[in-house]
Structure 1
Amino acid sequence: MSQEFSRNTNESLALRYGLSAVLLWSTVATAFKLALAQQSVSQLVFFASLTSVLALGAALLWQGRLAEAMRSLRENGWRALCFGLLNPLLYYHILFYAYDLLPAQVAQPINYTWALMLAFLAVPFLGHRLTRLDVIAMLVSYSGVVVISFGGDDSGRPLNLIGIALALVSTLVWAAYWILNSRDKRDPVIGLFQNFLLATPCAAILAWPLNLAPAALGGAIYIGLFEMGVTFMLWLMAMKYTRHASRISNLIFISPFISLLLIHFILGEKIHMLTLVGLGFIVAGLAIQARSAKKGRASEPLLTE
C-alpha cells in the first residue's frame, strides 16, 4: 500500500470539518457589519486578534504544544512579527474599512477574488505560470467585480469607490500573506498563534482607548473565534482527514450564497440583481481557476524513489 493511501483518512469526518468551517465563514460578513456598528475598525481588529490568540493558545495547550510554541518564538520572533503585521494587523484593517464603507453584499463577493490574486502573484514570486484557464478565470471573476460595482446601496446612491478599492487591496494583501506563508516552515497553528501574539500589542496601541461595552466585545469575540481562529483549525482538520483535498475545497463555493441569505435576513440588505449576477461571474471564475489548478497538479511528473 502506498504512503498516500496508508495515512489515516476519514472522508466523513473530513466532510463534517469542512462543512463546519464553510458554514462559520458564511456568517462572518454579517458579523463584520454588526460589530462595526458597535466599535471602530481598530478596536475590532484588537479584540478579535486577542480572542484568536486565546483560542489558538488554548488549542495548543490542549494538544500539549503551547510550551513548544513559546520556546520557538526565540528563533522565530522577527518572522512572527512581520507576518503578524501583515495578518492580522494590515489585512483586517483594510478589510474592515472596506466593510465599513460598503454594503456587505458588495464587500463579501469582492473578497472572494483573493484566490485569483494569489494565482497572479504566484507568477513573479513563486515562478508559476498562468495557464489559459487562469487568464479566463481572472477575466470572468473581475468582470463580476465590475458588474457589482455598477450597483448602488439601499438608498440608490453609487457605491463608495474607496471602499471598492480597499476591498480589492485586501485581496492583494491576503494573497501576498499566503505567498509568503508558503515558504514558512513553522507548524500552521503554531505559526498563526505566534503571528497573532506579537501583532496584538500593536493592535492595542492603534485601538486605544478601548471600547469595553458588552455589545462591542461580543461581536469581536465571535469574529476572533470564527473568522480568525477556530475555523482555521477546522479547515486544517478537514484537509488532514481527506485524501481528496479538491472535493473539500469545492465546499467553499457554497459559502457566498449562504452569506447573502444571512446578509438579507439579518442585516436587512435588499440583495440587488447586479450583486447576484456579479457573484455568479466571480464564483464561475473561481471554479475555472480551481479546475486549472487541478489540471496543473495532474500534469506534474510523479516523484518516485
Structure 2
Amino acid sequence: MAPGGGISLVELVVLGWSSAAAPAPIPIRIDFDAPAGCSTAAAFYDALRARTDRVRLATEGERSWNVHVRLSRAGSGVHGELRVIHERGETDTRTVKGASCDTVVQALSLTASLAVDEVVAESAPPVPVAPPPAAPAPREPAPPVDAAREAPPFRLEIGAHAVLTQVVAPHVSFGGALAARMTQQRMDDVFSPSLGVALIHARNDLLQSAGNAAIQWTAAALAACPLRWQITGFLGVQPCATTAVGWLAATGRGVMYPESVVRSWWSAGGLVRAAASFGGGTAVELEAGISAPLVHRRFILLSPEVNVGETPVISPLVGLGITHLF
C-alpha cells in the first residue's frame, strides 16, 4: 500500500493477476455511510459488480463478508474510506479523495474489487507445478541417403542356350549350354555384378557330316560380369571375363581301324552378353565371345597320316537362348 492509504502500482498488478483464478461469488453485505445526497450503497454495489463477478449480495442469515464504506465532505472535496472484514480478519483501511461523491465511489469500488482479489489469492491453495517432460533419448544420427541405401540382393538366374563354336579347326561345332548365375541388377547403376557357371557340350556332327573326324567338346565355363549398361528400358549389355575347363574327344572317320582320343581343354577369354527383357524376369540372350586355348592340341590319323584338325589360336563362341530371373 502506498503512503496515505492509496494503492501502489505493484499492488494493482499483483491483485489484478490474482483475480484470474476466481472461485464462486462471495456473499457480501455493504455498510454504507455518507452525507445526504452523496451517492448510495446500491450505486457502490453496481460499480463493484461492474469491476468483478467475485461478489454478490448476501441473503438473510447467510454468512458473508462485510464491506464498510464511509464518505465525508472535506472542504470542496470528498473523502472516502474502505474496509473489508472477511473470515480471516480484515483489510487495511483504504482511503480515497476526489472532487465528487460519484468519483470517490467509483474509486472505492475499484479498491474494493482489488481487495477482494487479494484476499482470495492469499486463501487459495498453491497450484501444483507439473514436472517438466523428460528429455527424449538421443537418437542415432541417420546415415546419409547414399550410404543408407541398401544394395539389391543377389538373385538366381537360370538359362539355356544354343551354342555355335570352333574348338578344333577347321571343324564347326554345334551344341547347347545350361547356365546358372547369381545376379545383382541395379537399374540405375553401371555396377551390376553377375557370376555364373555354364555346362557346355558341342560336337561337329550334330547338324552336318563329321568328315574324317568326329569332335566332341564338353566343358564347364565360369563367367564374371562386373558391369551392366542398360541401353533402353528392356535392353541391357554386359562385358564378361570367362574361363573354361573340359575335354576334347576325337574319333577318326573313313579309316579301317578308327581310334578315339580324349584330351583336356583349358581356355581363357571374354564375351559380351546382350539381354532383351520381356517382363516377369524372362529375357532372350545373345552372347558372343572369344577365348584362347591354353594348351595346343593336334589330331592326326595314321595309315596314311592325315592331320584332321587342331585347336585354333582363337576359339570363337556364339550363344542364343532364354533366361529367367527368380
Q: TM-score w.r.t. structure 2 length?
A: 0.17
Structure with more relative contact order (C-alpha pairs < 8 Å, separation 6 or more): 1
Q: TM-score w.r.t. structure 1 length?
A: 0.18
| Larger Rg over CA atoms | 2
Instruction: Kindly indicate which of the two structures has a greater share of residues assigned to helix.
Output: 1
Instruction: Kindly indicate which of the two structures has a greater share of residues assigned to strand.
Output: 2
